[in-house]
Amino acid sequence: MKLSRRGLLRGTFQGSAAVMAIPFLDCFLDNHGRALAATGQPIPTRFNTFFFGCGLTTQLWVPKKTGLDYEMTNQLKPLEAFRKKLNVFSGMRAIVDDSPNIQHWSGLACSNTGIPPTKVGRFDSKTIDLTIADVISRGARFKSVAAACTGDPKESYSSLGGANTLPAEPSPMALYTRLFGPGFQDPNKTDWKPDPQTMLQQSVLSVVADERKSLMKKLGPTDRTRMDQYFTSLRESELQIAAELRRPDIVAKVTIPPAPGEVPVNYSLPTLRNVTPLMARLGALAMATDQTRVFNLSVGQPVSTIFVPGDPFGYHITTHMEAIDPVLGYQPRTAQYNVYSMEFFAMMLKELDAIPEGDGTLLDHSLVFAFTDVSFAKIHSLDGLPLMLAGSASGRLKTGYHIAGNGSPVTRVGLTAQRAMGLSVAEWGSGSMKTTAAFTELLT
Amino acid sequence: MGRKGILVITALLIFAATDGGAAWASGSDHVVGLRRLSEREYRNSIADIFGKDIVVQGMFEPQVRMDGLLATSAAVLSVTPVGFDSFSKMADRIAIQITGDKFRGKLVPCTPKSTKGADDSCAATFFSHYGLLLFRRPLTADELKAQVALAHNMAQSTGDFYSGLRYGLAALLQSPNFVFRYEVAVPLGNKTYTLDPYSRATRLSYLMWDTTPDPELLRAADHGELNTTEGLDKQVSRLMASPRLDTGMRAFFTDMLELDNFDQVSKDSLIYPLWSVAIASSAREETLHSTIDLALHENGDMRDLMTTHKTFINRSLAVIYGVPFSFDSDWVPYETSPDSGRSGILTQVSMLSMFSHPGQSSPTRRGVALMDIFLCEPTPTPPNNVDFSQVNDPHGLKTKRERLMAHATNPLCASCHNHSDPIGLSLEGFDSIGERRLSENGQPIDLSATLQGKTFKDGTGLGQYLHDNPKYPSCLAHKLYAYAKGMDTQDVPTSAFSAAYKSFVGSGYRMRALIKGLVESPDFFNAPAPVAEASADHSKLALH
């Protein structure tokens, strides 16, 4: 077994941090080759989120049976090809306690922070993707990357806390440029050498970083927190440059395609069907080449304005305006929009599963956390939020199950995801959502 | 700016570095406001400091609307890793252009002893000149030293003086001192605080011109002139007299009227094949053009914004307005006819289309938005478990009014819908893209509405209602105040606001009187007392 300098550095960082990352230590210990790429380098485990607005229709998506042999339901059908690599969680509750149920916001914030938000558009703590990125992203070029299939950079649910969210890349071209434009080090390039320009950039950043001390002492506590975020961001750029100066050591079996060019990006269904796979593919390639280990994809905002051409209302308004069909017992047009959400999710999984890695695929070395803002959108219900985890996180999570949460807090899924990603967190969430009960039956 | 101009400022600088910079360096001051530059502010600043030929290319982090204004969020948001990466790359791209062959002759104010190595004296001249303009205050001695040292090392390691300047300038451009506007308070005595002269210059300039303070304003700051009534008035009059006031007020009205929404407006091309990106950008421009014309060029009564027949149109808008386009220039003044149903800003395509669904108009969305924008009255969100299907019409036979009236049967719904729907219902004569219509689903549309005890009809009636409602000019003034200070509209203190509002009313609601009254009111530059020292531990907790 070869110990890389990078691996050792990681170990040191993690040793001094509050949370320990186990997967990398596993990589050192693993002699079976399972987690190793062709070059003998460990394959990192990646974390993804997939956000879709307006929930699903309970009676159309929740299987009656639990466990492995649950029956395929109408709304899960688009995911059938990935059923063996997927866990679906029904009956999970976002419990807001004394905080308000902020429409189309509380549910998503509870799911990805474990804490009921106090204001719309703000997170009361760091979101799960960045919590995980703190542990798994060292060495990757970008700590995390977000993309919005509808073209609005604000449709990102990744945040260090507060009103700031990490802006999402708003088009395939923007995402491509960020990932594979200037600064990209192609791991397949044979004559690789560090770019001297990049080294000079380090000196620039260090001069800017030196301003920190004199600035901080002039600030009040709130602005100090904001300035801290600025300097944390600067630190991330330093790490990014450091990554760009190292020979990339993950040799992926992928080739980077030429730039996608400008394509239409908007809220209409046909456009989204074109853009979503493009975005997902670029994200998958970014992870395969270790540009990032955390990728967040969103299809629309919680108040989803996705629309089928010819429908004057669009998704969100339909969820509220459409009557429940007395015979069917649900809202048929809303239900169709729900299915589109699952089709988009399937598009993302397909791209992840299309990239071979080690003895499996990129999806097998990933965990994808799919979440939404409501269960029954019509009444903004937070009971029974549909949550899913796809991929086995390099074998750390058993897959193929339908788990019935029976009203237990949504935080159990987030906690399970963090454990599967190797974080040694004992509990997660606040108030009634504070939990220590990960779904241990799924963890290997 | 030519080299001669640069030398003049540099001379001023050498004086300033020993004097005006003292406040920042001494530590007796406190930062009471920290506002992230908006994309426009950033672009305008770069263009004014380095010239319009410098290309600024990159992503800017979005702002978030808070309490009606994006400007408010500038005082709350920070810089994320994605945003920093973009600032950093933009900084370098800008610095490359300025120090490159094409522009260095014009923009670098001195000639190095040799282009192949360091020249600390020339570098110092360069950084003190641009440091003042970028940081909106003179660099401290330590800051200048650090810049010169960076340029020195870079020049030596690359064997190129201009590379040294490039990296040093890139550092200035991504410094928090540039990407944030610092508002620095100094004690005034008797436990009160006021903004220091450079922060005053900065606040004035970004409010009135949407850009960084120009050399004359910095000079006035340096000489303490902005702290005297006479000196302040002289500078304010100068800023007001410039056509650049248009730029500043365009920025304000873009924010207040929520015109940024246009970036995300999608229309269903099956239902509205007429709609295009060109119409969207034209509609936005129409609103800005006509608003600025009334407010600044005509020095009109701002209440007339609600009723005026005067506007400007281009070829794209002529299609929607049903006007034969036979003009030979791009934009032409246009007067809507009384029978067109259009008068005032509320009946422009921008307002009508922004607050609609992709395939249908929405009286509720229009009502909620316009109450918030023009009357500063946000509508509460509906209850979580409300069943909207009772107001839906599965067979599509009713008008929206009939559907919305169903809300009246539920007192919980009625309390809010009675608040916002009347505005929206009176605008139902216009569809989702702002085209006129007289019937919906084959039935004539009833455009009458009753709001807060007043009954009116259609867009014209609504305009007159708002024109006569004193809450509208008051809301406009509150928003300008909040915009200038980067605060919540609802937190604008009545006492501080009253002097400015009085001059606004006294002038017959002229925008210029409002601006001048605001920036010259005695407490416009008053600052809150600095918050007591937070422990270092606290700030760490907040981060991690």
Q: What is the mean pLDDT of residues A339-358?
A: 96
In this prediction, residue B15 carries a pLDDT of: 41
Q: A250 falls in which pLDDT band (50, 70, 90)?
A: low
Give me the torsion for CA of A94, A100, A101, A106, rounded to 10°: -60
* N-terminal to C-terminal alpha carbon distance within chain A: 24
Asked if A379 and B386 come within 8 Å (Cβ–Cβ), the reply is yes
Q: Is A207 an interface residue toward B (CB < 8 Å)?
A: yes
Whether residues B268 and B153 fall in one domain: no
In this prediction, residue B391 carries a pLDDT of: 56
Q: In chain A, pLDDT over 90 holds for what percent of residues? A: 73
In this prediction, residue B532 carries a pLDDT of: 58
CA–CA separation, A62 and A72 (whole Å) = 9
Helix boundaries (H) for A217-372: 221-244, 269-288, 315-321, 332-353
Q: A270 falls in which pLDDT band (50, 70, 90)?
A: very high
Structural domain includes residue A420? yes
Cα-Cα-Cα-Cα dihedral sign, residues B279, B280, B283, B285:
negative
In this prediction, residue A30 carries a pLDDT of: 35
Q: Is a pLDDT exceeding 90 seen at residue A255?
A: no
Q: What is the mean pLDDT of residues A215-233?
A: 91
Which residues of chain A does B357 touch, with a Cβ-Cβ cutoff of 8 Å?
Answer: 312-314, 317
In this prediction, residue A11 carries a pLDDT of: 29
In this prediction, residue A292 carries a pLDDT of: 95
Which residues of chain B does A154 touch, with a Cβ-Cβ cutoff of 8 Å?
Answer: 62, 64
Q: Is A234 an interface residue toward B (CB < 8 Å)?
A: yes
Asked if B31 and A267 come within 8 Å (Cβ–Cβ), the reply is no
Give the 3-state secondary structure of residue A292.
strand
In this prediction, residue B11 carries a pLDDT of: 45
Structural domain includes residue A54? yes
CA–CA separation, B49 and B51 (whole Å) = 6
Residue type at position A339: V
CA–CA separation, B476 and B479 (whole Å) = 5
Which residues of chain B does A198 touch, with a Cβ-Cβ cutoff of 8 Å?
Answer: none
Asked if A204 and B171 come within 8 Å (Cβ–Cβ), the reply is yes
Least confident of A35-44, A132-141, B146-155: A35-44
In this prediction, residue A41 carries a pLDDT of: 67
Asked if B538 and A221 come within 8 Å (Cβ–Cβ), the reply is yes
Range of the domain at B379: 262-292+299-468
In this prediction, residue B16 carries a pLDDT of: 42
Question: Which residues of A, range 40-69, sit inside 8 Å of B by Cβ?
Answer: none
Distance from CA of A175 to the nearest CA of B (A): 11
In this prediction, residue A53 carries a pLDDT of: 97
- Nearest C-alpha neighbor of A24 from the set A53, A4, A39: A4
Asked if A215 and B176 come within 8 Å (Cβ–Cβ), the reply is yes
Residues contacting residue A431 through CB under 8 Å, at least 6 positions apart: A95, A97, A98, A115, A116
Contact A44, A293 (CB under 8 A): yes
In this prediction, residue A21 carries a pLDDT of: 30
Asked if A228 and B176 come within 8 Å (Cβ–Cβ), the reply is no
Mutate which: B384, B535, B540, vs A, most A CBs within 10 A? B384
Structural domain includes residue B69? yes
Q: Is B62 an interface residue toward A (CB < 8 Å)?
A: yes
Task: Pick the more confident residue, A261 or B25.
Answer: A261
Structural domain includes residue A159? yes
Cα-Cα-Cα-Cα dihedral sign, residues B150, B154, B160, B166:
negative
Structural domain includes residue A230? no
In this prediction, residue B25 carries a pLDDT of: 52
Distance from CA of B305 to the nearest CA of A (A): 31
Q: Is A146 an interface residue toward B (CB < 8 Å)?
A: yes
Distance from CA of B389 to the nearest CA of A (A): 5
Domain boundary among B137, B164, B186: B186
Whether residues B275 and B179 fall in one domain: no
For residue A24, give both structure tokens. Answer: 């990398």
Q: Is a pLDDT exceeding 70 seen at residue A7?
A: no
Mutate which: B78, B79, B172, B186, vs A, most A CBs within 10 A? B78
Backbone angles phi, psi at B533, to 5 degrees: -45, 125
CATH code where residue A66 lies: 3.40.720
Distance from CA of B153 to the nearest CA of A (A): 9
Q: Tokens 């509050």 label which residue?
A: A18
Q: CB atoms < 10 A from the CB of A324, how many? A: 14
Task: Report how many Cβ contacts below 8 Å link chain A to chain B.
Answer: 203
In this prediction, residue B392 carries a pLDDT of: 55
Counted domains in chain A: 1
* pLDDT under 50: residue ranges of chain B: 1-2, 7-22, 394, 533-544
- Prediction pTM value: 0.87
Task: Pick the more confident residue, B201 or A379.
Answer: B201
Range of the domain at A163: 5-192+247-442
Counted domains in chain B: 2
Structural domain includes residue A198? no
Q: Which of B88, B175, B357 sits opposite A211 (nearest CB)?
A: B175
* Summary mean pLDDT of chain A: 88
Which residues of chain B does A376 touch, with a Cβ-Cβ cutoff of 8 Å?
Answer: none
Structural domain includes residue A74? yes
Structural domain includes residue A408? yes
Q: Tokens 């550092």 label which residue?
A: B171
Domain boundary among B171, B186, B201: B186
What confidence tens digit (pLDDT) does each residue in A78-124 have? 999 999 999 999 999 999 998 888 999 999 999 999 999 998 899 99
Least confident of A386-395, A427-436, B180-189, B406-415: B406-415
CA–CA separation, B311 and B306 (whole Å) = 12
The DSSP-derived string for A174-235 is: HHHHHHHSTT---TT-TT----HHHHHHHHHHHHHHTTHHHHHTTB-HHHHHHHHHHHHHHH
Domain boundary among B468, B483, B503: B468
Structural domain includes residue B252? no
Biggest CA pair distance of chain B: 84
ipTM of the complex: 0.88
Structural domain includes residue B163? yes
Structural domain includes residue B353? yes
Give the 3-state secondary structure of residue B270.
coil
